[in-house]
Amino acid sequence: MSDKNIVRPRPKETENEIDERGAFVRQKNHFDRAFGDGENQNPVEADRYCLIWAKGCNWSNRAAIVRELLGIDAISVNLVGRDKQEVDLGWEFVYDENNTDPILGVQFLSELYENGDPEYKGRSTVPALVDIKTKKVVNNDYHRLTNYFEVDFAAFHKKDAPDLYPEDLREEIDKFNEWLFHNVNNGVYKAAFAQSIEAYTEAYDNFYKGLDELEKRLESNRFLFGDYVTDSDVRFFVTLARFDIAYYRRLGPTRGRIVDFKNIWGYARDLYAIPAFKNNTYLRDLAESHGDTNTIFVDYNTRFWDKIDFEGLWGETHYREKLSKDPKNKLLINKKN
């Protein structure tokens, strides 16, 4: 790690983000400055930023998927993960030589948070968009980061990039994304971190109620807003990719798996077939368990994570294209590019 910063232990959700009811209340995103030419905005420049994300984190996974869908090579990318430490120091550049980012020169993501705000005391989360010039985190707002990529970084989209955030649907997409966050994306975490049975039951019930509504919606729509993939589909997909192989372990008895929802499961496979989704979804890594093997009862993932045929499972035929008026195309090309 760098000599400048003393890396502090990672704060625990169950100690710092639980309310008086025992419910999980996720910390707010600290670096939420928007992008643009304004005085209090981050400048939009090529080769200025690096997207830091993690394979296991759904919030950052969606930023990585959108970056590739749009072809924003002007933003570089790097992965963080976890190595075993005596004390949990949070996300670390475990895939780089000497566990150190070669450009930013740090071992732990929290060092870049420290650079951005020495007074920050919360968890160092991903996605984190880092200013390469200053080596500071400038945005960790997963609520809006994909929208910034879709709108503010349009000048750096590849030719024929898809329109994931159509102007005529933005208000509706924003409203839907807010609902999706509370009931589904963050819903599994509300249940997993709940410290009272009342809070757990509420989160669990809301999650499955949300899935039921989405199962019905996808009965007649190929994607959430019709014939083409939007920002909302990315946000829903990253939760689906993790549920059956990771989230379920923390939820206790589950009412059903994603594969038990006919429409949702076909929809998830339809999205996975798109290269940007597949390339940024590490199913085997998500399934790998580091559980206790010194017991008679070893969990399913520990026994079988390296034997599951993910490509066969996620590559099964789904026939979702029949719901579309434009079955050969899943992405709506942005004609403004």
Distance, in Å, from the CA atom of 127 to the CA atom of 49, rounded to the nearest integer, reads 12
- The tokens for 293 are 């093997």
60 is in an annotated binding site: no
What ranges in the chain are assigned the alpha helix state H? 13-16, 58-70, 109-116, 145-151, 170-180, 187-193, 197-217, 231-243, 262-272, 275-279, 283-287, 300-304, 310-314
User: Strands across the sheet with 128-131, in order?
Assistant: 76-80, 49-54, 128-131, 136-139
91 is in an annotated binding site: yes
Distance, in Å, from the CA atom of 165 to the CA atom of 151, rounded to the nearest integer, reads 8
Catalytic residue among 49, 57, 208, 272: 57
125 is in an annotated binding site: yes
59 is in an annotated binding site: no
CB atoms inside a 10 Å sphere around CB 294: 6
324 is in an annotated binding site: no
Catalytic residue among 49, 113, 165, 189: 189
- 57 in catalytic set: yes
Determine how β-strand 49-54 pairs with β-strand 76-80: parallel
The residue with tokens 């429409």 is 263
* Inter-residue contact 50 to 135 (CB < 8 Å): no
- 49 in catalytic set: no
Amino acid at 24: F
Amino acid at 59: W
Three-state SS for 180-229 is: HHHHHHCHHHHHHHCCCHHHHHHHHHHHHHHHHHHHHHCCCCCECCECCC
Active site residues: 57, 189
Which segments are annotated as binding site? 91, 123-126
